[in-house]
Amino acid sequence: MSTLLEIERLTRRFGGVIALDDVTLSVAEGELVGLIGPNGAGKTTLFNCVTGVLPPTSGGVRFGAQHASLAGMAPHEVAQCGVARTFQNNRLFASLSVLENVMAGAYLRTHAGLWSAALRLPEARREEQWARQRAAQLLEEVGLQERMDEEAVSLPFGLQRRLEIARALASEPSLMLLDEPGAGLNPTEKQQLLQLIGRLKGRGLTVILIEHDMSVVMPVSDRVVVLDDGKVIAVGPPEAVKRDPRVIEAYLGSRSASDAAR
């Protein structure tokens, strides 16, 4: 399998704090990588550096078959390359409906210019129809088809999470970065979410999944990456990582806590 994402010696400092310290990581096409680590380990900062939200202090990010460098790109350019993401604290578009949120996510897949949009020329109308259908399909996939016309931010928290995923999918990415999609969900919702993530992987989408809960990330991940204090301290199959003494020490604190997490 070819490499889709290559993070090379990525470092990010905030003043004196080193949020990411020389992180090197590669993700293969179609892989589902679980990214875990204690609070403040740098997981979200890593996503921010990959998606252009934060410029890295040093190091590089390469993406795709051509190994194009993402370093120095603005977030919308990174998205154009085929990287989509969700956010730890939901960031939905508050004045748009559920359906329109997903349609807004499909911006890159539509092309109507100023004049055809303002005059509502036939091509713009057809495209609008297409975007609407596509968005409805995606909402069906995440189980929100009944709530298309509701205000996005009036949805219950768990459903907002799924809407964020549908919105990110609308750009038809090849890499999806999910920032703690399971946070704040109850066990049933979490199971549904895992099934959804499993389906995405089944369609060949490459996913990096940040998750706090070891028990959630372990069964779905092909590989698990453990960040602690900005450094990668372990990479490998879930079972191996689970037994890694450094992970147990840094992330779980003690052997008894590791039993509890299982």
Partner 1 sequence: MTSASSANSKQQTANSKSLLSAVCCVLCAIGALGLPIVLNAYHIEVLTSALIYALLALGLNLIVGFTGVLHLGYAAMFAIGAYAYGMLSVYGRWPFWLGVPPAMLIAGVSGVALGIPALRVRGDYLAIVTLGFGEIVRIAFTNLEQWTGGPNGLLGIGHPQLWLPGRGLFNFGVASSPYYYLTLLCVLIVAGLSVRLSRSRLGRAWIAIRDDELAAACMGIPVLQLKLLAQGLGGAVAGLGGAIFAAKQGTITPDSFDFILSVMVLAMVVLGGLGSVRGAVLGALVLGTLPELLRGFDQYRMLLFGLSMIIVMRLRPQGFFGGFRHRRHVHAA
> Interface residues with partner 1 (CB under 8 A)?
51, 53, 74-76, 78-80, 84-85, 87, 91-97, 99-100, 103-108, 110, 112, 114, 117-120, 124, 127-129, 131-133, 135-137, 140, 145-146, 148-149, 151, 167-168, 170-171
DSSP annotation of 173:
-
Residue 226: how many CB atoms within 10 A of its CB?
A: 25
Q: What's the min distance (Å) between Cβ of 29 and partner 1?
A: 21
Q: How far is the CB of 160 from partner 1 (least distance, A)?
A: 12
Listed in sequence order, the DSSP H helices in the chain are 43-50, 75-81, 98-105, 114-118, 122-141, 157-169, 187-202, 214-220, 238-243, 245-247, 255-261
First to last CA, the chain: 31
Torsion angles phi and psi, residue 258, rounded to 5? -65, -35
Nearer to partner 1, 168 or 185 (CB): 168
DSSP-assigned letter for residue 172: -
Minimum CB separation of residue 179 from partner 1 in Å reads 11
- Which of 134, 201 has the CB closer to partner 1? 134
Task: Please spell the DSSP secondary structure of 38-61, one letter per residue.
Answer: STTSSHHHHHHHHTTSS--SEEEE
Closer by beta carbon to partner 1, 1 or else 114? 114
Task: Say if residues 166 and 138 touch (Cβ distance below 8 Å).
Answer: yes
Residue 96 CB, shortest distance to partner 1, in Å, is: 6
Tokens encoding 61: 């990010």
Cβ nearer to partner 1, comparing 20 with 135: 135
Q: How far is the CB of 144 from partner 1 (least distance, A)?
A: 13
Closer residue to partner 1, CB minimum distance, 150 or 213: 150
User: Which CB sits closer to partner 1, 28 or 148?
Assistant: 148
Rounded CA-CA distance 189/101 in Å is 21
Give dist(CA 74, CA 194) in Å, integer. Answer: 31
Cβ–Cβ under 8 Å, residues 179 and 130? no
Find the shortest distance in angstroms from Cβ 47 to partner 1.
10
Q: Which is nearer to partner 1, 151 or 189 (CB)?
A: 151
Residue from 211, 209, 214 nearest 238 by CA: 214
Least distance to partner 1 from the beta carbon of 40, Å?
21
